[in-house]
A and B are shown apart, each in its own frame.
Chain A
Amino acid sequence: MEPTTAPTITTDRAGDARLISVVVPVVERTDDLVAVYHAFAGELDRRPEDYEFLFVFDGRYTPPPELVALSRDTGRIKLLRFVREFGETAALRLGIERSRGDLILTLPAYFQVLPQGVALLLEAVEGGADMAVANRSPRLDSWLNRAQSRVFHSIVGGVSEQRFHDMACGVRVMKRSVAETLPLYGDLHRFIPALALREGFRVQEVSVPQHPNDARMRVYRPGVYFRRLLDIAAFFFLAKFTEKPLRFFGLVGSIFLGGGGLLSLVLLVERVEGQGIANRPALLLAVLLVALGVQLIGLGLVGEIIVHLRAPHRRAYRVRERT
């Protein structure tokens, strides 16, 4: 059961009592959790704000007994667990939904940055940013992981207005309003800074020293890389064409349709000149291109109608200030 006693709120400055909710999605390992809690709680103890921890365990993992005991003792740790695996994005969303803080700090279940870095992030948010994301620097990783990361960020940087350097870092501070507005689903947690930027929030990247434990060489199975590619494709489409699907499908579709039409024309001319075309692979290609082109344009049009009917309910802008 969740603790029913509300955590005592320390009022440092009058009327400025704030609560920081620390959301920890546990999707990889559980051996560091207690150490992570102690390290970051120790850091937060030095601040005027009160805090709560929410650990969200994905289906495969169970809370270690020490953490359960700790939760019973302190009363400021909430433990949540999915019955089956739903992934990091879902875990983040659940944590955010169950949290009550004005500020939300997300942490991975292991050490990515030194705990002192949290202060820098909170400072950035106090300084006016809506979200502050950690950029582990200097990076202690292997050259391979750094190269991977660079490729990833240069692709994403192509569609977002601001260039990020470490979106894979799970250490972020955001205001509650940001957390509740982000379109988080699927595997989009990797794009949180870019998504916040698209929603019109101010996102600041803060250099935070990397934890030595985090500097392992990570090589993933090919399937993981494939899924990353799909994530990037999904994000790219989301960023560029959510409001105008036909811009994408229409362009690709008309290229196919035009190519197919042109090829058919060439074949027709050749046929009129007396050449047989029935046994030519080019005929198959032409046919395929025409059919694909029509299908893509049709799909784009369906997308447009759906977007059009959604339009009364959504706005592309966010008002930052008004006079």
Chain B
Amino acid sequence: MVSEPSLSVVAPLFNESENVRPLVDWIGQALESYAGSYEMILVDDGSDDDTWAQVCAVAGPQVRGLRLGRNVGQTAAMMAGFDHARGSVVVSLDGDLQNDPRDIPALIAKLDEGYDLVCGWRQKRQDKLLLRKVPSWVANRIIRRLTGVPITDNGCSLKAYRRDLLSRVALYAEQHRFIPALSASVGARIAEMPVRHHARRFGESKYGISRTVKVLIDLLTLKMITTFRSRPLVGFALAAMPALGVAFLFGMLWVFSWTQFGPEKASALVFPGAALLAVGVALYLFMLGLVAEVALSSERVGTNDIPTAAEIR
């Protein structure tokens, strides 16, 4: 057993049996000149093929394998790797050889300049244009606008993290593509640097375009939890504002039509109806915000949500 490596490389694998050995060899070569000690953590995410047998074949003191009980998805598989990583620096990359381990030393060097998270930015991305690149480009733009975190390529798995950061960001569902935004929301210093990207050599891609709709819904979640996590009432109150505006508008229209045409005109009912509906919606949202506050006050106990900070001197 290697005692406390300084670097942990985490790779989730789902049905990547042909890629296991090349990946390990490649990472080994790339880190040959790495000064400290390192470990690799290969996470078999409930593969149906013989990925686990391959992992066992390459496992050793420097290469550790984890086999998950069932297929839980990339985010949870990465989380498993992070939870078992012992290094003070953790690097994640895809198990499909599309990321280039030769970029790892540069990422670490960048991290040492004083960042908590360094994200890879895939250059000359080797994926299908319509199915992968266009949706990803749109999603990245939206994420940037929504969260204000200036990262161009949120979807790149090749990232370097300081361990302290990982202990603060608990990822679940399909949040691995929101790592920069979630990290920024706890006060992490984030950098981005170009990395190489290769076409798939073995196996097939596990992504499809149907994800886009889900990603859009997830973006709403992301906004909620990054911006309003600590004050949900503010978020709901802000959402209630447009409804109140609409209510005011229709209320004015009602008053106007009442004074102009008199109370007997039937169509005038539309305006008070719409105004009351909007008031109702606004009130409902406000109440939900209160419910969220109450629910959270008890959930918060024991969670570490103090933002991280740099020690200046």
A, B co-complexed: yes
Binding site for B on A (CB under 8 A): 161, 197-202, 243-244, 246-247, 250-251, 276-279, 283, 287, 290-291, 294-295, 297-299, 301-302, 304-323
Cα–Cα, bound, A305→B217 (Å) = 14
A-B contact pairs, 30 of them (CB 8 A): A161-B70, A197-B70, A246-B218, A251-B213, A278-B267, A278-B270, A287-B273, A290-B277, A291-B281, A294-B243, A294-B285, A301-B221, A301-B236, A302-B232, A302-B292, A304-B221, A305-B292, A307-B173, A309-B296, A310-B299, A312-B170, A317-B68, A317-B72, A319-B69, A319-B80, A320-B69, A321-B52, A321-B67, A322-B67, A323-B64
Q: When the two chains form their complex, are residues A316 and B288 in contact, meaning their CB atoms are under 8 A apart?
A: no
Cα–Cα, bound, A295→B243 (Å) = 12
Q: When the two chains form their complex, are residues B277 and A200 in contact, meaning their CB atoms are under 8 A apart?
A: no
Cα–Cα, bound, A201→B68 (Å) = 9
Q: When the two chains form their complex, are residues A322 and B66 in contact, meaning their CB atoms are under 8 A apart?
A: yes
Q: When the two chains form their complex, are residues B269 and A278 in contact, meaning their CB atoms are under 8 A apart?
A: yes
Q: Any chain A CB within 8 A of the CB of B195?
A: no
Q: Which chain B residues lie closer than 8 Å to A278 at the CB level? A: 266-270
Q: Which chain B residues lie closer than 8 Å to A244 at the CB level? A: 173-174, 218, 221
The number of chain B residues touching the other chain, given as a range, is 35 or more
| B119-170 at interface with A (beta carbon < 8 Å) | 170
Q: Any chain A CB within 8 A of the CB of B193?
A: no
| B273-307 at interface with A (beta carbon < 8 Å) | 273-274, 277, 280-281, 284-285, 288, 291-292, 295-296, 299-300, 302-304
Q: When the two chains form their complex, are residues A308 and B273 in contact, meaning their CB atoms are under 8 A apart?
A: no
Of the candidates B72, B280, B302, the one whose C-beta lies within 8 Å of that of A200 is B72
Q: When the two chains form their complex, are residues A306 and B299 in contact, meaning their CB atoms are under 8 A apart?
A: yes
Q: When the two chains form their complex, are residues B76 and A316 in contact, meaning their CB atoms are under 8 A apart?
A: yes
| A271 CB, min distance to chain B CBs, angstroms | 8
Of the candidates A243, A291, A315, the one whose C-beta lies within 8 Å of that of B280 is A291
Cα–Cα, bound, A322→B59 (Å) = 10
Of the candidates B277, B280, B285, the one whose C-beta lies within 8 Å of that of A298 is B285
Of the candidates A251, A299, A304, A321, the one whose C-beta lies within 8 Å of that of B224 is A304
Given contacts A311-B172, A317-B77, contact A298 B239 (CB under 8 A): yes
Q: When the two chains form their complex, are residues B64 and A304 in contact, meaning their CB atoms are under 8 A apart?
A: no
Q: When the two chains form their complex, are residues A315 and B83 in contact, meaning their CB atoms are under 8 A apart?
A: yes
Q: Any chain A CB within 8 A of the CB of B225?
A: yes
Cα–Cα, bound, A277→B288 (Å) = 32
Q: Which chain A residues lie closer than 8 Å to B68 at the CB level? A: 200, 317-320
| A203 CB, min distance to chain B CBs, angstroms | 10
| A307 CB, min distance to chain B CBs, angstroms | 7
Q: Any chain A CB within 8 A of the CB of B220?
A: yes
Q: Which chain B residues lie closer than 8 Å to A314 at the CB level? A: 172
Most A C-beta atoms less than 10 A away, residue of B55, B69, B228? B69
7 closest cross-chain pairs (CB), A and B: A200-B69, A323-B59, A311-B170, A316-B76, A323-B65, A318-B69, A309-B299
Q: Which chain B residues lie closer than 8 Å to A301 at the CB level? A: 220-221, 224, 235-236, 288, 292
Cβ-closest chain B residue relative to A199: B69
Q: When the two chains form their complex, are residues A298 and B288 in contact, meaning their CB atoms are under 8 A apart?
A: yes
Q: When the two chains form their complex, are residues A247 and B296 in contact, meaning their CB atoms are under 8 A apart?
A: no
Q: Any chain A CB within 8 A of the CB of B214?
A: yes
Given contacts A276-B266, A305-B232, A320-B68, contact A315 B76 (CB under 8 A): yes
Q: Which chain B residues lie closer than 8 Å to A302 at the CB level? A: 232, 288, 291-292, 295
Cα–Cα, bound, A208→B65 (Å) = 37
| A315 CB, min distance to chain B CBs, angstroms | 7
Known pairs A312-B303, A322-B66 / 17 extra A-B pairs, C-beta < 8 Å: A244-B218, A244-B221, A251-B213, A276-B266, A283-B273, A290-B281, A301-B221, A301-B224, A301-B236, A302-B232, A305-B295, A306-B292, A308-B229, A317-B69, A319-B84, A322-B64, A322-B84
Of the candidates B64, B284, B296, the one whose C-beta lies within 8 Å of that of A295 is B284
Q: Any chain A CB within 8 A of the CB of B252?
A: no
Q: When the two chains form their complex, are residues A307 and B303 in contact, meaning their CB atoms are under 8 A apart?
A: no
Q: Which chain B residues lie closer than 8 Å to A198 at the CB level? A: 70
| A261 CB, min distance to chain B CBs, angstroms | 12
Cα–Cα, bound, A247→B172 (Å) = 14
Cβ-closest chain A residue relative to B78: A317
